[in-house]
Amino acid sequence: MTTTSAPANPRSRVILASLIGTTIEFYDFYAYATAAVLVFPILFFPTGNDTTALLASFAVFGAAMVARPIGAMVFGHFGDRYGRKATLVASLLTMGIATFLIGLLPTFQQIGWLAALLLLVLRLCQGFALGGEWSGAALVATENAPTGKRAWYGTFPQLGAPLGFIIANGLFLIINFALPHQSDPALKSEAFLSWGWRVPFLFSAVMVIIGLWVRLKLVESDTFKKAEDKGVIRKMPLATVFRHYWKQLILGTFIMLATYVLFYLMTNFTLSYGTKPSSEAAAAAAAQAAAEAKGLPFDAAAFAAQFYPGQGFGYTNFVLMQIVGVVFFGIFTMVSGPWADRIGRRKLLIGVTIAIILFGFTFPVFLGQAAGEPGAFALTQSFLILGFLLMGLTFGPMGALLPELFPTNVRYSGSAIAYNVSSILGAAVAPLIAVWLWAAADGSSWLVGIYLSAMAVLTLIALILSPETKDRDYEDDLGIAAQPQL
């Protein structure tokens, strides 16, 4: 029976706590993602080969995705056993401390490959923390939502993704512009490579303090309290979810797959592709200048052997273009919530996923021209807007759909594991696969688009096999209690 009792937390507190926490967490995560393209290949992985250095940087970026399911299991266990509040505070602290320490790391030029190892360790800590953050924030939002508005409330933790992206990249952009290259403010300066890149990581400490202040004011939801009162809290929720809800885990993992692949292609891959010089001559000149500035030899033949072109927009210009696209990401994230409450999560996501499949085939059309060619800017900006618009429509309903697949006593564990195992299949390997396909296609993007479409087909199959969860009653769906506790 559906309850109409007042929620344990005021509406404004629920919205702010779910929004600000994920904004901070995603800000920290994207600060690394941006640095992984701009500075880490130079400062932590100077292999002498641009492609190898970028792949090494992306590999460490992807390593965090491997840590995320571990974080999901650990934080999910405590969240289902003892409540959501303490778990959310712990995940925020872990992410904040790891991000702050990245801003203090010595580079390869100072301590050699130990710098890369320390970066990897802190990156794993970031992934571990994010593994527990998203699901807890989604549960705070949806378990406190009014009747019929669960998807709408579930979009607020999702909104943290575009907000975190805009804040992190905007800060990088401001710092880079304030420390311009001698000849072109759109290029990275020596000061930016020396210390400017550290500022966004150190700034996260301020944001974490604000987030902790908000989250410490939360109380547990009535739904979780009812599960405690009914005696359905499990001693080992992880064992319960794997034993009894393994089908939901598989479906949730693949439902999230296209979302992950789309997002990391629209952020990491496009930043690499959009800023890479469009001609070998321009790229060689830039590489030679960078080598001479560091007193290093430049091997033109070796450079030519590993060269693959991009669009050559320049960092500043392209990040501004991405930010414009992410604004649409945020808008359509919020649009998706009321839409999913009205017509259902499954119906909406099936339509959006079909659109993503078709979008994958448009990559060579939108990204086929270099900066300076007629229509290149308009086509690329349209591509970013369309891609991020689809991202908002597919990401927004996930805040409600994944938690709704599981009952209260394993909801944290189940939704967190599905969300974060999908990060390995989608986000961890997407930048690596995209760079490899980019090189294999001699600098064209068409294979990357086919990759996105193929992953979206898998998501479409999972959605077709999944139930509609719009009318699931949290108050009645407390979980298995009749069997001996696990």
> pTM of the full predicted structure?
0.82
How many Cβ atoms sit within 10 Å of the Cβ of residue 295? Answer: 6
Residue 127 has pLDDT above 60, yes or no: yes
- Report the pLDDT averaged over residues 283-289: 59
How many structural domains are present in the chain?
1
Please report whether residue 430 resides in a domain.
yes
Please report whether residue 228 resides in a domain.
no
Please report whether residue 340 resides in a domain.
yes
- Report the pLDDT averaged over residues 175-203: 72
- Report the pLDDT averaged over residues 410-423: 91
- Report the pLDDT averaged over residues 325-350: 96
Asked if 122 contacts 157 with a C-beta cutoff of 8 angstroms, the reply is no
Please report whether residue 225 resides in a domain.
no
Residue 89 has pLDDT above 60, yes or no: yes
How many Cβ atoms sit within 10 Å of the Cβ of residue 397? Answer: 30
Distance CA 51, CA 28 (A): 25
Amino acid at 305: A
- Report the pLDDT averaged over residues 370-385: 83
Assign 485 to helix, strand or coil: coil
Asked if 341 contacts 399 with a C-beta cutoff of 8 angstroms, the reply is no
Residue 477 burial (C-beta neighbours within 10 Å; 0-12, 13-18, 19+): middle
Domain of residue 119 covers 11-219+234-276+311-465
First to last CA, the chain: 27
List, for residues 44-72, the tens digit of each pLDDT value.
888 766 767 877 887 887 777 788 889 98
List, for residues 162-172, the tens digit of each pLDDT value.
999 889 888 88
Name the more confident of 268 and 19.
Answer: 19
Model confidence at 295, pLDDT cuts 50, 70, 90, reads low
Please report whether residue 35 resides in a domain.
yes
| CATH number of the structural domain spanning residue 176 | 1.20.1250.20
- Report the pLDDT averaged over residues 356-373: 83
Please report whether residue 442 resides in a domain.
yes
- Report the pLDDT averaged over residues 371-381: 81
Asked if 15 contacts 149 with a C-beta cutoff of 8 angstroms, the reply is no
Assign 344 to helix, strand or coil: coil
Please report whether residue 45 resides in a domain.
yes
Please report whether residue 299 resides in a domain.
no
Cα separations in angstroms, 397 against 138, 336, 350: 11, 6, 12
pLDDT at residue 274, as a whole number: 77
Residue 285 has pLDDT above 50, yes or no: yes
pLDDT at residue 484, as a whole number: 39
- Report the pLDDT averaged over residues 184-211: 76
Average pLDDT, the chain: 82
Distance CA 465, CA 473 (A): 21
